[in-house]
Amino acid sequence: MEGDTPLVGTVAIVGFPNVGKSTLVNRLTGTRAAVVHEASGVTRDRKELVCEWRNTRFLLIDTGGVDIADVSPMTRSIAVQAREAVQEADVVLFVVDAQAGVTPGDEEVAQILREAHKPVLVLANKIDDPTHETLALELHRLGLGDPIPISGLHGHGTGDLLDEIVDQLEVHGGPARPELPDEAIRVAILGRPNVGKSSLLNKLLGRERVIVSEIPGTTRDSIDTVLQRGDRTFVLVDTAGLRRKRRHRQGIEYYSELRALEAAERADVALVLIDASMGIVDQDLAVADVARKADCSTLIVLSKWDISEVKIEEVRGHLRRRLRQRPAFLAVSAKTGRGVERLLDAIEELFDRHVAHVPTPVFNNALEELRQKRQPPARNGKRLNMLYGAQIRTRPPRFRIFVNDPGIVTRDYGYWVENELRDRFGLDGVPVSIDFIRRS
């Protein structure tokens, strides 16, 4: 939902676990962007989405469920994230399960919101039958104004709610947020569960923006975060861990994996994290293949280097043999900060190659050198002749080479041409596509 219309403000959605926030977010944004699942507490991290209503666009921050009474570290992190989101918001949506009534937890959240002195809309959710709207009346006792009866599941009342949000933003909205520039570098952070993706993202940002836990698979949604460094804008996408075996891909994890793939498909650069303390396993190579198929330029990031006993020479040889894009790799430690600045430099350099354009005369000079370097394949007495070509796309690069007969191109020769172009134009780690087309 992109356009020239600026974002007029920020709306945070908070509430106790399992009151139906994710279903409501999907209803308001017209997407299935939040993970919706019957297990409570699934949306643990905050998630930012764009809503559009009455030609007005605003940012919706979906936070994890606020369960203040639960003393577990994960829940305390969620409460902190919700407080942060409320601080950043111009308007807050407080979602309460009207069927369950006001709980002690709801009263604690209401206290946080009263202290924040922000405009709050109390949403009496799960009123799926309009005749039950009187259930909303009990929510007056929260002291935050008239409750709005809605059903996130069926959509009852959501149009009126969006009208009210837009009206509130016209009065209380902050300065319009600028849109991201076209040259923003979109970076997906991919890897098996528990390889350190969230820790790396936090180190890159310099603050605890994503909940980090020892429990594998705590990042179930993908979260986009903007990082400004000098004159370069990065959009960092932290993703759910990718599991390879189908038997593990059920319920929440199946949806999370789909989101990781979607994140890769809208990224320019993929950081494929490998837990250096565990060594390289086949699942790591499968994750790298996901990045390649999504047309991402790839960097291999060896995380947890501070506790690794792996030798760089071993890694280099193994990866060069197994990965078609021949990506570069860097060793980092999110704990000590080693290699993190160098990683941002490497992302910039890789992105610049990802979007680079090879002038047509330069490309054809390279083709002439390739013809001299290796004899092209032949079939039935007819030898392949690469006549001329050009780059037809960037981000990532795609080349078209006109030949006398595409049927003569062998798989081996096609790979050889691809790798030669990589060498000549500095495209290691970049997906290179070549179309061999018959000259008409």
Find the CATH number of the domain harbouring 426.
Answer: 3.30.300.20
In this prediction, residue 3 carries a pLDDT of 47
pLDDT tens sequence across 218-236: 555 555 778 888 889 898 8
State the amino acid at position 64 in one-letter form. G
Q: Where does a domain end: 121, 143, 172?
A: 172
In this prediction, residue 235 carries a pLDDT of 85
Do residues 292 and 259 share a domain?
Answer: yes
Q: 95 or 18, which is more confident?
A: 95
Provide the residue range defining the domain that includes 317: 185-354
- Per-residue tokens: 62: 């979906």
Q: Where does a domain end: 339, 354, 369?
A: 354
- Given a cut of 60, whether residue 309 has pLDDT beyond it is yes
The pLDDT mean for the chain works out to: 82
**Angle of CA points 187, 188, 189, to nearest 5°:** 115
Cα 93 to Cα 99: distance, rounded to the nearest angstrom: 18
Cα 44 to Cα 224: distance, rounded to the nearest angstrom: 14
Cα 14 to Cα 11: distance, rounded to the nearest angstrom: 10
Q: Provide the CA 168 distance to its chain's centre, in angstroms.
A: 30
**Whether residue 178 has a cis bond before it, omega within 30° of 0:** no
Name the DSSP class of 68: T
Name the DSSP class of 35: -
Whole-number Cα distances in Å, 407 to 130, 207, 240:
66, 55, 41
Residues in the chain: 440
**What pTM did the predictor assign?**
0.66
Q: In the predicted model, what is the mean pLDDT of residues 280-292?
A: 86
Strand, helix or coil for residue 338: coil
β-partners of residue 225 are 236
Residue 178 lies in a domain: no
Residue 180 lies in a domain: no
Location of structure tokens 């007819």 = 382
State the amino acid at position 271 in one-letter form. L
Strand blocks (E) in 215-339: 223-229, 232-238, 269-275, 297-303, 328-331
Burial class (CB in 10 A: 0-12, 13-18, 19+), 287: buried
Q: In the predicted model, what is the mean pLDDT of residues 95-110?
A: 86
Residue 91 lies in a domain: yes
In this prediction, residue 115 carries a pLDDT of 85
* pLDDT bucket at 124, cuts 50 / 70 / 90: very high
Overall domain count for the chain: 3
Residue 102 lies in a domain: yes
CA-wise closest residue to 116 among 84, 140, 147: 84
Do residues 308 and 323 share a domain?
Answer: yes
Provide the CATH number for the domain around residue 233.
3.40.50.300
Do residues 339 and 424 share a domain?
Answer: no
Do residues 164 and 225 share a domain?
Answer: no
